[in-house]
Structure 1
């Protein structure tokens, strides 16, 4: 194990992908357990759920390790953990509150819409209509139709980075619009 500690995260990951050696993944686990747990705690909001989600992220890494080269392992793992938590929250039912502040990232509620049917407040609906066409389309597809970034990018024939940008800008503009109406 001490020998493995000398390797970069990216080299360890590449070694794990080719060899599926649990010892290599254990080194990465030791290095990033706190980071993944912190991300999961932020999104899940509950210590026990965060612990479960953290373990699921590392299990997922072992079971479905992508073969593409990872340039920045830490950043990539952060996104993997965040997306795992968002998908877990998305699949949960029963989040009661559905208003504009749910479109902003916070430690209280991570994903705004977890139920199939939504009753948008008139204020939110009005602000949604004021968004730029690209932002509105991406926000609606992501939150209301529960499409992934990749599905949206494919449907709109744009880059995934553009989808993320439209959603982020749309959320910000929704927040500003709602706040201006208060």
Structure 2
């Protein structure tokens, strides 16, 4: 007597097994389960770059649609690391598109300062097709995200609103309730502290 083997449910598979099965059979349900496991992290990354939250939510959905095609074409080793890089690059491209369509056509400003010039750093760190440059960018992004978490709340909040959301001093003061002089102080001290922390990080992308 032969028994029909029950198909393994997606929830019972590891990330690697789900990814392999999706590449083999193209069942979007497998990809959906895999993506849902990482949804909290994906949304958190999107919120760092895109405001309001509705824009971050749109990015989360757009990313899933991209993965349907990308993961059929590209072999991925470490899915978590690859996904986080893909999410960041997508958000950077969204911001780049905003800059191209902005009325003033000004330079793209992200909360991605380097040790030399906070205002112009973003234009040098957009996604690259060069694997070495992409790896270096990923390392700098990790350093930046860690450095931001180390800043006092007021400095971090003002930096993100000024550089990411491109709010003026008065708008930041109105949104946070801080005095205008305190906003300026938080920005000045935050830039100095962030620069100091980033200078202390290794420059090797593998670090």
Counting matched residue pairs gives 139
Partner of 1:175: 195
Is the counterpart of residue 4 in structure 1 residue 4 in structure 2? Answer: no
User: How far apart are the structure 2 equivalents of 1:165 and 1:83?
Assistant: 9
Give the conservation status (yes or no) of the 8 Å contact 2:10–2:30: yes
1:41 paired residue among 41, 47, 63: 47
CA distance 1:60–1:41, shift in 2 (3 Å): same
Is the counterpart of residue 55 in structure 1 residue 55 in structure 2? Answer: no
Residue segments in structure 2 that go unaligned for 5+ positions in a row:
1-6, 148-193, 197-207
Is the counterpart of residue 88 in structure 1 residue 89 in structure 2? Answer: no
TM-score (norm 1): 0.57
Partner of 2:156: none
Is the counterpart of residue 164 in structure 1 residue 164 in structure 2? Answer: no
TM-score (norm 2): 0.51
Give the conservation status (yes or no) of the 8 Å contact 1:100–1:175: no
1:71 paired residue among 73, 77, 84: 77
User: How far apart are the structure 2 equivalents of 1:165 and 1:81?
Assistant: 11
Who wins on radius of gyration, i.e. which is larger?
2
Give the conservation status (yes or no) of the 8 Å contact 2:108–2:123: no
CA distance 1:58–1:160, shift in 2 (3 Å): same
